[in-house]
Structures are given as structure tokens and as C-alpha cells.
Amino acid sequence: MSAPAYRPEPEQAKGSATIGKNVTITGQIYSREDLYVDGEVEGTIELAENRLTIGANGKVKAGIHAREVVIIGSVQGNVEATERVDIRKDARLVGDIRTARIVIEDGAVFKGSIDIVKAEAKTAPPAPKPAAVPVANAAAAGAQAVLSEAKR
């Protein structure tokens, strides 16, 4: 009898870090690769040059800063995306959006303000910040991982 094959969510890009649906993180997340959140996050999420996807099971209570943000689950907090915010059907976002481009599907719930800003010109990447909370591929981790608020 073989173990059930791991099947990524349709939105889950290959090669991105994943916070699985049974994972809870409290603290600050910095990532220099794409991130898929299907668990719970409370704090802040920063992916300055990358794409953040909040999966259908994702519940995020955090300020978000990323290049691109796709919301399928639930977010409470302000969202800043240098390129684009994509709010899918059945998603829920309560917070203010600041982005260059926004797509919102019918059926999505959004409460907050939208500020459209021109896309920033590409500049040299900023000096890397020290990783406050390591984000490992936690999709397989069934246990609840509560990481301390490492940086206050």
C-alpha cells in the first residue's frame, strides 16, 4: 500500500515555498522566493520581488508586501503589491490595497480602499535583510508550527 501522492493545489506554483494548511505561523516572514500560504499566518509577510498566493484554506492576518499577491482564501490586513493584486472568487480581503493593477472576480468580498500607484521602475535589488523567521517547505508538516515573533 503506497502513501497517497502529494497533489499541489492548482494555484500552487512549482518551486515556491509553502505553508501547509495545518501550519500556523505568528511572526514576520521574509522570503526571496514565491510563497504559497494555505495555513494561518499572523504578523507580516514581505516578498519584495516575488509572488504571494493565499490558498483556499489560507487565513492571513498580516500586512503584506509583495510583487504580486493572489488571494483565494482570507486576508485581513493591508496589501501592497508593486505589480498586481488578484482577488479570486470566494476570496475575502478586509484591508487597504496599494498596487499598480488589480483584478477582482465576482463573488469576492472586499472591504477597504484601493490606491492605484504606477508600477515602480526596476531598480537594483535592495540589500538582503536578515531572515527573521525561516520559511521552510512545510506542506508535509502536519503539526502546528508556532514560530516566535522573532523581530519586534
Partner 1 sequence: MLKDAFNALFGGSAPSARPKQSPGAKRVLKPKLAETHSRTSQGLNQFFSNLDRGDRLRILDLSGASQANLNFVLQFGHHLYCEDLAATLDGVFESGDDFYARQADDDLIEQFLSQTFANLQGPFDGALVWDTLQFLQPPLLDHTVGHLYRLLEPGAFLHAFFNSDERARWLPVNSYRIETAGSMQVIPRDYRPAPPAFNSRALEKVFSDFASVKFFLSRDYVRELIVTR
Under the binding rule (CB under 8 A), the answer on residue 113 touching partner 1 is yes
Residue from 45, 53, 65, 110 that binds partner 1 (CB under 8 A)? 110
Q: Report how far residue 119's alpha carbon sits from residue 52's, in angstroms, rounded to the nearest whole number.
A: 17
- Is residue 83 within 8 A of residue 66, CB to CB? The reply is no
Q: Is there a contact between 20 and 36 (Cβ–Cβ < 8 Å)?
A: no
- What single-letter amino acid sits at 6? Y
**Cell numbers describing residue 79:** 496589501
Kindly state the cell numbers that stand for 55: 490558498
Q: Which stretch binds partner 1 (CB under 8 A): 5-13, 21-29, 110-118, 121-129?
A: 110-118
Q: How far is the CB of 47 from partner 1 (least distance, A)?
A: 24
One character per residue 63-102, x = contact with partner 1 (rule: CB under 8 A): ------------------------x------x-------x
Should residue 115 be labelled a site residue for partner 1 when binding is judged by CB under 8 A?
yes
Is residue 105 a contact point for partner 1 (CB under 8 A)?
yes
Over the window 31 to 70, marking each residue x when it contacts partner 1 by CB under 8 A and - when it does not, the resulting string is: ----------------------------------------
Say if residues 64 and 42 touch (Cβ distance below 8 Å).
no
Nearest C-alpha neighbor of 39 from the set 61, 57, 17: 57
